[in-house]
């Protein structure tokens, strides 16, 4: 909700407040409006403000409403989108440990981008999360890969008859058959070089090998191998998981002794930090990098303590609501925060359904 100030007494007021019917200037009460009209000079400025298109607060409120309506439409998942997100989470669950796919799908790592982008129900939310320019590039790359995957031998050979216009193929008479070529004598087979000639001599180079055939040169080269998965290069969570898998288990004699002390209350996790400093850190300059650290911390709380999941969702809801005004005003950092927060909240329901199905 946009908070503005009264034009007369500068008191903060809500979006739905008393305003001038001509220029849309806002006031907290009728007394302030009358005082500002008579003493504050609003009587002389009202016509100029109206001629300039209305008060700035009115336009900010209008842009805010449009942005909220657009965001609600983009981030409201349908039943098909929830089912698709749950199916995608199950299909890639073997790559990550429990809870890791929450961070991976949120940030749309390379091995998740293509399934999210090509799914008809999740493409709209994915476009709003990463930007339409980047999603168009990914779609173009996928179409190029599909075209390159078709081998050249499977394509039908284009002839004069098959490459014509549709009207010519349907109504024109077929072309006359070409005359049969005259039979040619078989090529003379050359002898292999004598065994006394060394392999590097010019005489041996002049004689081709018997195993060489004209069909061998016409064979297409083998298709290129698919690119290797990026693995843990894109996420510290995958690096930690890979390190945990590769670390050999210690024998019982070298294992750390088990202590029965209760955990220290200073180290107890109570959910994500909702302080103003962390909040403004995510909304400041370079929000993409700072937001990554905040997401890592919230997902860490999600993994360690199932009871803090409600706090995680409350934290992202706070980010989304606080960045809505900056998103409506065209702030790129606030738009990034608003989009990622909405994407996380939209997929939380799908992850919760996956956990309920496991139980």
pLDDT value for 190: 62
Distance CA 276, CA 280 (A): 6
pLDDT value for 347: 63
What element of type H or E holds 168? helix 166-171
How much is the average pLDDT of 306-320? 72
pLDDT > 70? residue 240? no
pLDDT value for 182: 61
pLDDT value for 128: 61
- Stretch among 302-306, 320-324, 345-349 having the lowest mean pLDDT: 302-306
Phi, psi of 318 (to 5 degrees): -65, -45
Question: CB of 223 within 8 A of CB of 151?
Answer: yes
- Stretch among 119-123, 184-188, 238-242 having the lowest mean pLDDT: 238-242
Q: How much is the pTM? A: 0.24
pLDDT value for 36: 78
Q: Which residue has the higher pLDDT, 83 or 231?
A: 83
Phi, psi of 77 (to 5 degrees): -80, 140
Distance CA 304, CA 28 (A): 47
- pLDDT-based confidence at residue 340 (cuts at 50, 70, 90): confident
How much is the average pLDDT of 11-21? 72
pLDDT value for 65: 66
pLDDT > 70? residue 336? yes
Query: How far are the Cα atoms of 177, 193, 195, 217 from residue 209, in angstroms, in the given order?
Result: 39, 9, 13, 13
pLDDT > 70? residue 335? yes
How much is the average pLDDT of 235-254? 47
pLDDT value for 178: 60
Q: Which residue has the higher pLDDT, 241 or 132?
A: 132
DSSP secondary structure string, 172-231? SPPPPPPPPPPPPPPPPPPPPPPTTS-TTSHHHHHSPPTT--HHHHHSPPPPPPPPPP-G
pLDDT value for 100: 45
In sequence order, the β-bridge partners of residue 18 are 27
Distance CA 87, CA 70 (A): 27
Distance CA 40, CA 12 (A): 18
Sequence-ordered list of residues with C-beta below 8 angstroms from that of 323, at least 6 positions apart, any chain: 283, 334, 335, 337, 338, 341
What pairing do the DSSP bridges indicate for beta strands 26-27 and 4-5?
A: unpaired
pLDDT value for 298: 57
Q: Which residue shows structure tokens 């993409």? A: 288
Question: CB of 36 within 8 A of CB of 44?
Answer: no
How much is the average pLDDT of 320-344? 75
Q: Which residue has the higher pLDDT, 198 or 190?
A: 190
pLDDT > 60? residue 156? no
Q: Return the closest-CA partner of residue 74 out of 140, 132, 115.
A: 132
Give the mean pLDDT of the chain.
59
Residue-wise pLDDT for 106-137, tens only, equals 444 555 556 666 666 666 666 666 556 666 67
pLDDT > 80? residue 228? no
In sequence order, the β-bridge partners of residue 64 are none
Helix (H, G, I), strand (E, B) or coil at 150: coil
Distance CA 181, CA 183 (A): 6
Distance CA 45, CA 5 (A): 18
What are 261's two structure tokens? 């002390």
Q: Which residue has the higher pLDDT, 314 or 195?
A: 314
Give Rg (Cα) of the chain: 34
DSSP secondary structure string, 21-56? TTT--EESSHHHHHHHHHTSSHHHHHHHHHHTTS-H
How far is it between the farthest Cα atoms of the chain?
A: 119
Helix (H, G, I), strand (E, B) or coil at 261: coil
Question: CB of 122 within 8 A of CB of 253?
Answer: no
- pLDDT-based confidence at residue 266 (cuts at 50, 70, 90): very low
- pLDDT-based confidence at residue 180 (cuts at 50, 70, 90): low
What are 46's two structure tokens? 């009202």
Sequence-ordered list of residues with C-beta below 8 angstroms from that of 232, at least 6 positions apart, any chain: 238, 239, 241, 242
DSSP secondary structure string, 268-295? ---S----HHHHHHHHSSSHHHHHHHHH
pLDDT value for 314: 76
pLDDT value for 327: 72
Distance CA 105, CA 340 (A): 11
């Amino acid at each position: 909700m946009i908070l503005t100030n009264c034009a007369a007494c500068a008191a903060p007021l809500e979006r739905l407040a008393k305003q001038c019917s001509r220029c849309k200037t806002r006031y907290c009460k009728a007394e302030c409006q009358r005082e500002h009209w008579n003493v504050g000079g609003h009587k002389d400025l009202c016509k100029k403000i109206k001629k300039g298109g209305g008060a700035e607060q009115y336009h900010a409120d209008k842009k805010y409403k449009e942005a909220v309506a657009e965001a609600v439409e983009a981030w409201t998942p349908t039943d098909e989108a929830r089912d698709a997100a749950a199916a995608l989470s199950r299909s890639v669950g073997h790559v990550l440990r429990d809870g890791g796919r929450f961070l991976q799908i949120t940030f749309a790592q390379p091995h998740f981008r293509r399934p999210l982008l090509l799914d008809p129900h999740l493409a709209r939310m994915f476009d709003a999360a990463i930007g339409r320019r980047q999603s168009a590039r990914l779609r173009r790359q996928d179409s190029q890969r599909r075209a390159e995957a078709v081998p050249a031998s499977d394509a039908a050979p284009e002839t004069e008859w098959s490459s014509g216009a549709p009207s010519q193929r349907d109504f024109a008479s077929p072309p006359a058959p070409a005359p049969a070529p005259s039979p040619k004598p078989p090529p003379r087979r050359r002898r292999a070089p004598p065994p006394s000639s060394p392999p590097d001599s010019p005489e041996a180079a002049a004689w081709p090998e018997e195993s060489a055939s004209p069909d061998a040169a016409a064979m297409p080269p083998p298709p290129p191998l698919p690119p290797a998965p990026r693995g843990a290069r894109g996420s510290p969570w995958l690096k930690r998981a890979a390190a945990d898998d590769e670390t050999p288990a210690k024998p019982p004699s070298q294992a750390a002794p088990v202590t029965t002390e209760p955990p220290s209350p200073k180290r107890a996790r109570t959910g994500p930090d909702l302080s103003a400093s962390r909040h403004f850190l995510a909304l400041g300059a370079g929000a993409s990098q700072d937001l990554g650290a905040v997401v890592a911390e919230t997902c860490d709380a999600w993994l360690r303590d199932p009871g803090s999941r409600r706090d995680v969702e409350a934290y992202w809801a706070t980010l989304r609501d606080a960045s809505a005004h900056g998103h409506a005003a065209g702030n790129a950092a606030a738009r990034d925060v608003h989009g990622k927060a909405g994407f996380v909240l939209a997929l939380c329901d799908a992850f919760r359904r996956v956990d309920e199905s496991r139980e």
